[in-house]
Amino acid sequence: MKLTLYVDGGARGNPGPAAAGVVLLDEQGSPVHEGGYYLGEATNNVAEYSGLIRGLERAGELGATAVEAFADSELMVKQINGVYRVKAEHLRGLKDRAATLMDGFASATLSHVRRNKNERADALANAAMDRRQDVIRT
């Protein structure tokens, strides 16, 4: 089963209150999971990676064998795809975790998408930041 994953993350302050948004769609484009995850105090980049990690973990729990992921963080996408190296020490473990999760699927890709194509994941991250708690819609 192939799932499409949209992820976003944000922090108000940087670091500041942070959250990640995750949207998983089935092959027909219907949502199978939507979640906003409150992270406490973190940086924007940590929130972006946290969204990717949570989304990949959830895709695995749902039985996906293939994942086509999209994020509006050009930095994270280029780091995961090996175009940029990870200079920030605190992001290396997150990048390695995401890469390991991606390797667990028969097929997994991560591509950059413009913000206007990632509005639902952004809204979920903002809802979790506003409420300072997870917002899950499955």
Kindly report, residue by residue over 17-33, the tens digit of the pLDDT: 999 999 999 999 999 99
Average pLDDT of span 110-124? 97
Confidence of residue 16 (pLDDT cuts 50, 70, 90): very high
Q: What is the pLDDT of residue 138?
A: 72
Average pLDDT over residues 93-103: 98
**Chain-centroid distance, C-alpha 100:** 14
Using alpha carbons, select from 63, 3, 15, 71 the residue that is nearest to residue 42.
Answer: 15
pLDDT at 137: 85
pLDDT higher than 90, residue 78: yes
Pairing of strands 16-25, 135-137: unpaired
Q: What is the mean pLDDT of the chain?
A: 97
**Which pLDDT band holds residue 52 (cuts at 50, 70, 90)?**
very high
Note the pLDDT of residue 14. 86
Provide the 3-class DSSP secondary structure of residue 102.
helix
Q: What pLDDT is recorded for position 17? A: 98
Q: What is the pTM of this model?
A: 0.97
Percent of the chain with pLDDT over 90: 98
Closest CA to 135 of 30, 44, 53, 34: 34
CB 45 within 8 Å of CB 91: yes
For the segment 48-73, the average pLDDT, to the nearest whole number, is 98
Q: Find the helix packing angle between 44-61 and 89-103, rounded to 10°.
A: 20
Distance CA 13, CA 66 (A): 35
